[in-house]
Amino acid sequence: MEGFLGFIVNEILSQPAIIAGMMAMIGLVLLKKPLRSILNGTLKTIIGFLLLGVGADVVVQSLGPLGTILNQGFGIRGLIPNNEAIVGVAVQTLGQQTAIIMSLGFVFNLLFARFTPFKYIFLTGHHAFFMACLLSAVLTAAGIQGFSAILIASVILGLLMVVLPALAQPFVRRITGDDSLAIGHFGTFGYISAGLVGKWLGNPDKSTEDLKLPQGLSFLRDTTISTAVTMVVLYVGITLAAGPEAAAGVAKDQNYVMFAIMQGLLFAVGLYVILAGVRMMLAEIVPAFQGIAEKLVPDAKPALDCPVMFNFAPTAVILGFLASFLGGLIGLSILVVVGLPVIIPGLVPHFFTGATAGVFGNATGGRRGAFLGALTNGLLISFLPALLVPVLGDLGFENTTFGDTDFSVVGLIIGYMVRLF
């Protein structure tokens, strides 16, 4: 029995594609669809999620060398927030507790969705695991362990899985035009901040997607082409500024300028695959959720990973990434001056959360909102992780920390509340 439960927790519940496929299957079964439709919808949902993951892996693979070039070329030293890295450290001592918290958290998610006004089912499994790990670490650092820690963390996780999508939903509704889906990604405070900044300082009538280009540049209206051109220019510019020595370690035997060009093109490929996966997944899972909404959780909405927003404003995705990274550089300079732990802008969190923040800012404030909203997100994921480091320091996590805003906000609130009471 223990081995079977371990398989369920570690092999099934840790796979967001399988979770999404199971949800689609349940919805289609409840709708009494024929077997061929159930198989088709389930498999396409899983394949769409896997495509999204493959695209994300390609983007990460492309951004990794650029981060190395920045560090080596400009001598930047400090902490690089990375959810996977800190979880990898934490699970060595908290792995079993984290897995239990994640599993029970999903149960509480369903209960809260069924019996509260927050009708969201959180399907981003890896982020649920990361949050479970954070809660486990913070409570353990504060001296709360065993059954008490598991119960408290599971309830908090289940609550976060419905409340945070609910808080972001007014902005998501503005982006998508309806209530058919929600965002289930723990960068929500950054996205909400971007939406509010866009509302206060932007102009929604001037969308990033309405940018008019001269006739000679009309080819840039294609999102894939404009992304490729933008990223090649960015990669080559940074690589030339850093110098050939900084790129030697990652370019190896390849010419460093050609290496930069190919990495920029690889980034565009990754984004194209992400968008293709999102389209396939949404075409299946949103209709399938009608069955869950009708039978199990009335009015249920799937809360999905942040790239589901990319299709609605592809130009804002690139603008948001660049603006968020700029915010990270500004935050880095301020942290050095004030003496807090130095947070080096990690290109991966700045791309995924910055791009999403750009979409949120564009929905409420157009081009200016996309830029300023994503810039705000970049500042938040610089300062908040720096404040979180001491909370996690008791467990020896000083060399890394969580990257996205919600981890820092939740960690700081829970950590200091537990210590206070």
Q: Could you read off the pLDDT of 226-258 as tens digits, one per residue?
A: 778 878 888 888 888 888 887 777 888 888 889
- Look at the block and give the residue holding tokens 């982006």: 175
pLDDT of residue 10: 62
> Using alpha carbons only, what angle is made at residue 141 by residues 337 and 345, rounded to the nearest 5 degrees?
35
pLDDT of residue 375: 97
| CA 13 to each of CA 103, 104, 408: distance values in angstroms, whole numbers, following the listed order | 7, 11, 24
Our count of domains for the chain comes to 1
CA 171 distance to own-chain centroid = 16
Question: What's the token pair of residue 45?
Answer: 């949902």
- Which residue pairs from 250-259 have beta carbons closer than 8 angstroms and sit at least 24 positions apart in sequence? 250/64, 250/65, 250/68, 250/69, 251/65, 259/65
pLDDT of residue 171: 97
Q: Which is nearest to 400 in space by CA: 126, 137, 94?
A: 137
Pairing of strands 301-304, 182-183: parallel
pLDDT of residue 215: 59
Residue 343: helix, strand or coil by DSSP? strand
| CB distance 192 to 368 below 8 Å | no
Q: What share of the chain is helix, strand, coil (3-state, %, to 5)?
A: 80, 5, 20
DSSP 121: E
pLDDT of residue 393: 56
The answer for residues whose C-beta is within 8 angstroms of residue 161's C-beta and 6 or more apart is 105, 106, 108, 109, 112, 120, 122, 128, 184, 303
| CB distance 111 to 119 below 8 Å | no
Ranges in the chain, pLDDT < 70: 1-16, 75-78, 84-85, 88-89, 91-92, 213-223, 393-400
Burial (CB count within 10 angstroms: exposed 0-12, middle 13-18, buried 19+), residue 123 = buried
pLDDT of residue 187: 95
| CB distance 37 to 61 below 8 Å | no
| CB distance 69 to 239 below 8 Å | yes
Task: Give dist(CA 390, CA 393) in Å, integer.
Answer: 5
DSSP 79: B
pLDDT of residue 162: 96
Task: Give dist(CA 379, CA 332) in Å, integer.
Answer: 9
Q: Which is nearest to 207 in space by CA: 364, 374, 322?
A: 364
Task: Give dist(CA 211, CA 315) in Å, integer.
Answer: 9
Residue 390 belongs to domain spanning: 4-420
- Look at the block and give the residue holding tokens 């705000």: 376
Helix axes 83-115 and 146-176, enclosed angle (nearest 10): 80
Q: 296 — phi, psi (to 5°)?
A: -95, -55
pLDDT tens digit string along 342-389?
A: 787 877 888 889 999 999 999 999 999 999 999 999 999 999 998 888
Task: Give dist(CA 132, CA 84) in Å, integer.
Answer: 13
